[in-house]
């Protein structure tokens, strides 16, 4: 189990291009769709937690999933697994290949990779929201929230408005808490 | 001791970097000024490489700075110091609050929070794609007129002994860039669909990334090649 955690997260670390959100897609593939280590809901909860605590999402996820599977040892194995590829690759680049972005073939490969990453992130988001809507009795509300947050965050990204994603995550959490206080009794019955 | 300094510096970065890599970069910039070997130029290169190599940008940057300051031990020490806070916080959270998440009321709040989070993920995907197009988008709104103007430029404006003039060259590069973008996108989509038909399962994210890299290498040089050909023709 420890070894599986390590190798799975090593693989995830190796293919995480384009920051934390690219990795979300790969984690969903490897840990949920293939291995059923955690549920979809748990996964999105985890993203909320990971985004509102310090540190890279990659590390947060490895720690959580590792702990769920094999307690402390598991979380250590998964975390080391996810950062080890970076350490090895960056170290080699730092020593031998400082100019590596200037090679034409590397630049071309990254052009393709950026497109691929954008596509897998959108695909993951589609799968997750489909899952949310199918399993909920508040379909309309969920759809509206999803569309609203997509648009708001998109606008912020595009116009380089200086609002950190943390602020948005916290506003979503605030909304959730307020809704649960105001609507909980009505909706549960 | 250089290692202790690295540990303390990057531990603090780890604690303060809320909200992913883009929060961590300015913090690491500050830290890097503590070390004479890290020049501004070097740091800019580091950031560019960290953003494109696999792994989280913040972790990559820590490895870079550590390696530059104190070799392999420095790289390891800086990296683990940076991820320690994230590791510890999630560990404590998992141990202490797992039961809390099963509480009915908390679960209700989470069911509201989740679609918002998925919205953020969606927006990141869309804007990642959009940012590939955008610096050039406005130019192409009137595509027909634009292509016509380019073809006129190539056929008429170019003196035989001079290469395509700089502006037209830039414009053409942009045009081929967008063309490449569309071609690669379509190829990826087609591969995903064919894969699903043939193997009866979803294509894995890793495979899509590998495909993206291959298509990028195959078609990446296309714009330059086409331009060379065109300037040959013009002669």
Of A55, A153, A165, the CB nearest to B85: A55
CA separation for the pair A110, B128 (Å, rounded):
13
CA separation for the pair B235, B222 (Å, rounded):
20
Burial B161-181 (b: 16+ CB within 10 A, else e): eeebeeebeebbebbbbbebb
CA separation for the pair A49, A14 (Å, rounded):
23
- Is pLDDT above 90 for A47? no
Q: At what angle do helices A104-134 and B104-137 cross, to 10 degrees?
A: 140
Cβ distance B86 to A124 less than 8 Å, yes or no, reads no
pLDDT of residue A184: 65
Mean pLDDT calculated for residue range A29-58: 86
Give this prediction's pTM: 0.80
Cα B134 from chain centroid (whole Å)? 15
Burial class (CB in 10 A: 0-12, 13-18, 19+), A39: exposed
Of A93, A116, A180, the CB nearest to B208: A116
CA separation for the pair A100, A106 (Å, rounded):
7
Q: Find the closest chain B residue to A58 by CA distance.
A: B56
- Is pLDDT above 80 for B146? no
Of B20, B111, B206, the CB nearest to A20: B20
- Is pLDDT above 70 for A186? no
Looking up tokens 């290469």, which residue turns up?
B163
- The sign one gets for the Cα dihedral B98, B101, B103, B106 is positive
Q: Does B132 touch chain A (CB under 8 A)?
A: yes
Among residues A167, A8, A26, A157, the alpha carbon closest in space to that of A74 is found at A8
Residue B32 or A82, more confident = A82
Q: Does A48 touch chain B (CB under 8 A)?
A: yes
Query: SS3 of A54, please?
Result: strand
* Domain range annotation of chain B: 2-98, 142-234
When computed from its CA atoms, the radius of gyration of chain A, rounded to whole angstroms, is: 19
Among residues B58, B51, B49, the alpha carbon closest in space to that of B12 is found at B58
Cβ distance A47 to B93 less than 8 Å, yes or no, reads no
What confidence tens digit (pLDDT) does each residue in A58-115 have? 888 899 999 988 889 999 999 999 999 888 888 888 777 667 767 788 878 888 888 8
What confidence tens digit (pLDDT) does each residue in A128-184 have? 898 888 887 788 888 988 999 889 888 887 776 666 667 777 888 888 888 888 776
Residues whose CB is less than 8 angstroms from the CB of residue A2 and which lie 6 or more positions away in sequence, other chains included: A70, A73, A74, A77
Residue B46 or B145, more confident = B46
CA separation for the pair B145, B39 (Å, rounded):
47
**Where does B33-163 have alpha helices with state H?**
40-52, 57-97, 104-137, 143-152
Interface predicted TM-score of the whole assembly (ipTM), two decimals: 0.85
Among residues B180, B175, B133, the alpha carbon closest in space to that of B153 is found at B175
Chain B hits for A157, CB-CB cut-off 8 Å, are 123-124, 127, 131
Residue A64 or A186, more confident = A64
pLDDT of residue A156: 82
């Amino acid at each position: 189990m420890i070894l599986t955690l390590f190798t799975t997260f090593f693989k995830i670390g190796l293919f995480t291009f384009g920051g934390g959100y690219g990795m979300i897609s790969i984690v969903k593939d490897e840990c949920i769709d293939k291995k059923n280590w955690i549920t979809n809901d748990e996964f999105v909860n985890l993203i909320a937690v990971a985004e509102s605590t310090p540190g890279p999402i990659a590390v947060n996820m490895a720690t959580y999933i590792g702990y769920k599977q094999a307690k402390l040892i598991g979380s250590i194995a998964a975390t080391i697994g996810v950062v080890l590829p970076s350490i090895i690759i960056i170290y080699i680049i730092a020593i031998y290949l400082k100019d590596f972005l200037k090679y034409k073939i590397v630049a071309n490969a990254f052009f393709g990779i950026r497109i691929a990453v954008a596509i897998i992130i959108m695909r993951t988001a589609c799968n997750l929201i489909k899952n949310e809507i199918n399993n909920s009795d508040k379909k309309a509300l969920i759809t509206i929230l999803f569309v609203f947050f997509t648009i708001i965050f998109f606008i912020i990204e595009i116009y380089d408005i200086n609002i950190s994603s943390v602020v948005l995550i916290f506003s979503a959490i605030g909304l959730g808490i307020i809704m649960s206080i105001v609507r909980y009794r009505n909706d549960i019955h | 001791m250089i290692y202790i300094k690295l540990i303390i510096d990057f531990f603090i970065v780890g604690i303060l970097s809320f909200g992913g890599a883009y929060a961590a970069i300015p913090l690491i910039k500050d830290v890097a000024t503590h070390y004479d070997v890290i020049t501004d130029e070097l740091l800019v290169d580091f950031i560019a490489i960290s953003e494109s190599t696999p792994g989280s940008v913040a972790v990559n940057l820590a490895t870079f700075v550590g390696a530059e300051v104190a070799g392999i031990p420095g790289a390891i020490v800086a990296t683990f110091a940076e991820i320690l806070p994230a590791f510890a916080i999630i560990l404590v959270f998992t141990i202490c609050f797992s039961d809390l998440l099963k509480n009915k009321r908390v679960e209700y709040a989470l069911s509201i929070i989740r679609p918002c989070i998925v919205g953020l993920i969606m927006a990141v995907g869309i804007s990642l794609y959009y940012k590939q197009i955008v610096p050039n988008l406005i130019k192409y709104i009137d595509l027909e007129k634009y292509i016509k103007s380019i073809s006129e430029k190539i056929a008429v404006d170019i003196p035989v002994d001079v290469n395509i003039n700089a502006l037209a060259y830039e414009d053409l590069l942009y045009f081929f860039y967008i063309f490449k973008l569309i071609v690669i996108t379509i190829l990826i989509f087609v591969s995903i669909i064919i894969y699903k038909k043939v193997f009866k399962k979803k294509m894995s994210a890793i495979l899509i990334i590998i495909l993206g890299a291959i298509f990028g290498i195959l078609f990446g040089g296309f714009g330059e090649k086409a331009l060379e050909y065109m300037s040959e023709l013009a002669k």
